[in-house]
Structure 1
Amino acid sequence: MCEAGPVSTLRRWIPNQHGAWAMLVVPVLAGVLTGSPTWLQLPLFLAWLLGYCAVFHIEQWVRLRHASRNPRAAARHLRPALVLAGATAALGLPLLVAAPWLGVAAALMAPFLAVNVVFARRNRERALVNGLAAVVPACGMLLVALRLGGGATADGLAPAAACLLYFAGTVPYVKTMIRERNSAAYRRGSVAYHAVALVAATLLDPWLAVPFAVYLARAAVLPGRGIRVPVVGAVEVGCSLLLLGFLVGVYG
């Protein structure tokens, strides 16, 4: 049997949850670009991405230990989990020395991570609550990146709230496009949420009404049209970039 090449290994180590990457990247970039960029934000960003990959494999290891009868199914996630966790620590510990308050930020994120692990153990990773739990620490990274660049936490609350409003809405919306595409209740709930989010975002800043009106329109119009999954993903990438552009324009 031929050994797996580096490209094949990389594919196995990188999480296949493609929709999560915008949620991982946009809040951090917003925190960097609305404040004063500093070199410390680069290892923070890398540690954040590596940490996500490590947590993904930890969750898969936990899930498959209980959901699969094949012990190798869980075991194949153990090495990536350990290596990626070690890489995260190698980047994160020097940052923690430079900015000890990062320990408090990590502690605040821990309960949401615990929720994700519990849902993974129950083999219910696609649950609505689990998705929403993952959104909170991701959006909180805007505050972390901003403060690490010397910005005030208070200045990041509004853009972080805007991120939370948008990415929380992607959880039910994407379900209406894929797994719950035949559920009228999910569609109604998604549209209702986006209508409320539009009002809330407008209260944060009137300019935010523009992207959130787009998000409401796509939640109301696109479900039920048989749009392919790659197109759904491309639309969300565009929506995420739209949010980033407005956050930088409004709060930068």
Structure 2
Amino acid sequence: MKWYIPREHGAWAMLIVPYWTGAMISGFHWYHLLFFVGLFAIYFAQAPLLTYIRNKKHTDVWPSFSIYLAVGTLFILPFLFHNPGLFWIGLCIFPLFLLNIYFAKTKRERLFLNDFIAIVALSSLLLLAYRITEPALTSEAFLFLFINVLFFTASVFHVKSLIREKKNKQFHRQSLIYHIVIVLISFAMNWIGAGIAFIFTLLKTALLPKKYFARPIQIGVIEIINSALFFVIVITVYFVS
């Protein structure tokens, strides 16, 4: 049996960072670990599914898809019964994943819109983590969701400017402007943690020598480091402020 594993490692950060941001700001509980195992398994299930959607010749995807889905269901279902609020949040997020499947089916996965939809969908997992230990969603949860969307949109801008839009000077300018604007917005709104994190993201984009972006693996490693830095800064400032 072939184990299909998601190749988009940047998306792993989009799954991990928002979820654990929600877990930390709502009050960490070991329930968060169990629920995360289920989410991670469900996320892995999309790899064989999307492989089949892209090319129906890959009929060997179903064993791994079934195992991932079964593990995810086993860990998540008890939470849904105990806390129906999680079900309704998940139901609101689900159409976004369907849109990603649609873009995969129509071979338009490289569109910026598809990336943005995936960012919103994965960042919304923050709401699930928040709701596990909180009786209701608050403006705080949606604020951190918005900050995560801003951050990962910046990441997509940066990565595309290095690969797909490498020779597109206008796209490079748009990316730089976006990075500057989110820094200004953050400090204007007194989002100190986000502002500091976005400064590092801006410096990475504007000043880090291009030799560190020669290969996709180098780009991926730097984005993972930057995502970890974003998480640490935002959470640290949240607890000390």
Partner of 1:184: 169
Displacement of 1:223: 8.0
- Aligned mate of 2:33, from 42, 53, 72: 42
- Aligned mate of 2:85, from 93, 98, 101: 101
Displacement of 1:180: 1.8
Distance 1:177-1:199 versus aligned 2 partners, 3 A rule: same
SS of equivalent residue, structure 1 residue 190? helix
Q: TM-score, normalised by structure 2?
A: 0.90
How far, CA to CA, are the matches of 1:204 and 1:146 in structure 2?
A: 22
Q: Runs in 1 of length 4+ with deviation above 6 angstroms?
A: none
AA paired with 2:236? G
Displacement of 1:228: 2.4
Partner of 1:247: 234
User: Please, what is the CA RMSD of the aligned residues?
Assistant: 1.9
Partner of 2:106: 122
Displacement of 1:187: 0.8
- Aligned mate of 1:92, from 55, 62, 76: 76
How far, CA to CA, are the matches of 1:229 and 1:130 in structure 2?
A: 20
Q: Is the 8 A contact 2:100 2:118 kept in 1?
A: yes
1:206 equivalent to 2:197? Answer no
Partner of 1:137: 121
How far, CA to CA, are the matches of 2:24 and 2:72 in structure 1?
A: 23
Q: Is the 8 A contact 2:165 2:171 kept in 1?
A: yes
Partner of 2:51: 60
Displacement of 1:220: 2.7
Q: TM-score, normalised by structure 1?
A: 0.86
How far, CA to CA, are the matches of 1:151 and 1:234 in structure 2?
A: 37
- Structure 1's unaligned 5+ residue stretches are 66-70
- Aligned mate of 2:12, from 5, 21, 30: 21
Distance 1:148-1:35 versus aligned 2 partners, 3 A rule: same
Partner of 2:62: 78
How far, CA to CA, are the matches of 1:78 and 1:190 in structure 2?
A: 39
Displacement of 1:100: 0.8
Q: Is the 8 A contact 2:193 2:238 kept in 1?
A: no
Q: Deviations over 1:10-61 (max 9, x none)?
A: xx42211112111111111111222211222112111111111112321221
How far, CA to CA, are the matches of 1:109 and 1:89 in structure 2?
A: 17
Would you say how many aligned residue pairs link Structure 1 and Structure 2? 236
Q: Is the 8 A contact 2:17 2:228 kept in 1?
A: yes
Q: Deviations over 1:218-239 (max 9, x none)?
A: 2233485553222211211121
Displacement of 1:120: 0.6
Q: Is the 8 A contact 1:96 1:103 kept in 2?
A: yes
Q: Is the 8 A contact 2:127 2:142 kept in 1?
A: yes
